[in-house]
């Protein structure tokens, strides 16, 4: 193995990879799912750490569409600063036939190399693998970087590091999508009735807006405390109370702070709580948990899950302003670090200091 881990001055765990095969094996963990036939760009940032951000993926195009896809991929990548790029081609598009003695999709790869070189973003490696599985051969489109066999991506240093952080790598994009599937209709109908009753009862409490907000913040803090301890068992009453709390937009916005620092265990626990609420909360209240899930995923660089979550929020509540804003940021490839200002604009982190 040529991967190592170190701890940065800010406490982050840094995984250093120097072998092309291990870099390819890291792709499912960087995407949060194992890709099928794809073209993938890994952008290497400037500086000593050479972070990989972002990871950009697209389905393999047919030859008539290669120019357009290359133009779009390069445009997306150039919105981020960087010092170099690794191109990974996974598998082959259905019906594609490589010329004898050539790797699949060589013309697509060459178009990417040329376009990136002209844009001042050189390609460090251009690699092809039939699939990202342990034992699969990897080969380089360049003549000078060799070939090899992929390690089992489930047993790499990257996989172990992700697992200790609570990150989940799904076996396919479809599996990633399914994790947002709502609870059974009967449970959602039951909670909708409870929500309606709670809203009606709220009108007769006589409490001030400040008292109501303090109570809602207390509900969220308690749920976050349980999440940090690994308890995600939510009763119907829990779902209703949290949905009511997040319907207060000032409370919801305070919850943006739970995504900080991105990828740390407490932030991952909060993200898991929002995911559970997305599945268990009826619309339109589901939208608030979905936008918090998307924000947390976006902040840690998981743009695929972020996009799914923002779409979920807009399906539950068309015209949701924060979901629309964040979806625009995502489509325009705004770097995740730039979103931190939304968290910093809030009064203070809601995560319990002593879980």
pLDDT, one tens digit per residue, over 286-329 is: 999 999 999 999 998 888 899 999 999 999 999 999 999 999 99
256-292 burial code (b ≥16 CB/10 A, e <16): bbbbbebbbebbbbbbbbbbbbbbbbbbebbbbbbbb
Are 290 and 185 members of one domain? yes
Predicted local distance difference test score (pLDDT) of residue 5: 42
Asked whether residue 171 is domain-assigned, the answer is no
Predicted local distance difference test score (pLDDT) of residue 6: 40
Predicted local distance difference test score (pLDDT) of residue 2: 55
d(C-alpha 284, C-alpha 282), whole Å:
6
Are 335 and 192 members of one domain? yes
Asked whether residue 350 is domain-assigned, the answer is no
Are 113 and 159 members of one domain? yes
Are 187 and 238 members of one domain? yes
d(C-alpha 58, C-alpha 35), whole Å:
10
Asked whether residue 195 is domain-assigned, the answer is yes
Range of the domain at 70: 4-165
Predicted local distance difference test score (pLDDT) of residue 45: 79
Instruction: Please provide the distance, in angstroms rounded to a whole number, between the alpha carbons at the two ends of the chain.
Output: 37
Are 28 and 110 members of one domain? yes
Tell me the pairing of strands 84-90 and 123-129: parallel
Asked whether residue 349 is domain-assigned, the answer is no
- Helix (H), strand (E) at residue 130: none
- How many domains, the chain? 2
Task: Give 31: exposed, middle or buried? Use CB within 10 Å, 0-12, 13-18, 19+.
Answer: buried
3 state DSSP class of 259: helix
Asked whether residue 353 is domain-assigned, the answer is no
Are 52 and 184 members of one domain? no
Are 152 and 188 members of one domain? no
Low-confidence ranges of the chain (pLDDT < 50): 1, 3-14, 355
Are 79 and 221 members of one domain? no
* Residues in a beta bridge with 6: 14
Q: What is the model's pTM?
A: 0.81
Q: How many CB atoms lie within 10 A of CB 338?
A: 9
Are 143 and 221 members of one domain? no
User: Which tokens hold the place of 6?
Assistant: 């170190």
Are 43 and 146 members of one domain? yes
Predicted local distance difference test score (pLDDT) of residue 200: 87
Side-chain-side CA neighbours of 124 within 13 Å: the count stands at: 16
């Amino acid at each position: 193995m040529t991967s190592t881990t170190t701890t940065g001055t800010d406490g982050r765990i840094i995984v250093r990879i120097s072998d092309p095969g291990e870099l390819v094996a890291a792709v499912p963990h960087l995407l949060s799912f194992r890709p099928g036939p794809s073209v993938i760009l890994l952008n290497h940032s400037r500086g000593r750490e050479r972070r990989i951000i972002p990871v950009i993926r697209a389905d393999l195009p047919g030859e008539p569409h290669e120019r357009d896809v290359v133009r779009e991929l390069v445009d997306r990548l150039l919105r981020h600063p960087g010092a170099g790029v690794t191109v990974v081609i996974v598998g082959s598009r259905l019906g594609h036939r490589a010329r004898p003695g050539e790797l699949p999709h060589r013309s697509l790869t060459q178009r990417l190399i040329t376009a990136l070189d002209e844009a001042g973003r050189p390609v460090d490696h251009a690699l092809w693998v039939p699939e990202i599985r342990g034992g699969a051969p990897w080969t380089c489109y360049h003549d000078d970087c060799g070939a090899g066999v992929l390690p089992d991506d489930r047993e790499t240093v990257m996989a172990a590091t992700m697992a200790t952080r609570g990150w989940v790598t799904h076996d396919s994009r479809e599996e990633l999508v399914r994790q947002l599937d709502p609870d059974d209709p009967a449970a959602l109908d039951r909670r909708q009735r409870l929500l309606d009753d709670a809203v009606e009862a709220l009108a007769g409490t006589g409490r001030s807006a400040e008292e109501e907000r303090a109570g809602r913040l207390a509900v969220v803090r308690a749920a976050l405390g349980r999440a940090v301890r690994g308890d995600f068992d939510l009763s119907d009453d829990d779902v209703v109370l949290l949905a009511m709390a997040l319907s207060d937009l000032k409370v919801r916005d305070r919850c943006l702070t739970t995504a900080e620092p991105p990828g740390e265990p407490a932030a991952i626990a909060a993200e898991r709580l929002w995911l559970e609420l997305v599945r268990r909360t009826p619309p339109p209240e589901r939208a608030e948990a979905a936008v918090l899930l998307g924000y947390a995923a976006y902040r840690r660089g998981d743009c695929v899950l972020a996009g799914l979550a923002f779409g979920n929020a807009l399906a539950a509540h068309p015209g949701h302003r924060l979901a629309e804003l964040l979806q625009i940021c995502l489509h325009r490839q705004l770097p995740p670090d730039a979103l931190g200002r939304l968290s910093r604009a809030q009064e203070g982190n809601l995560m319990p200091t002593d879980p």
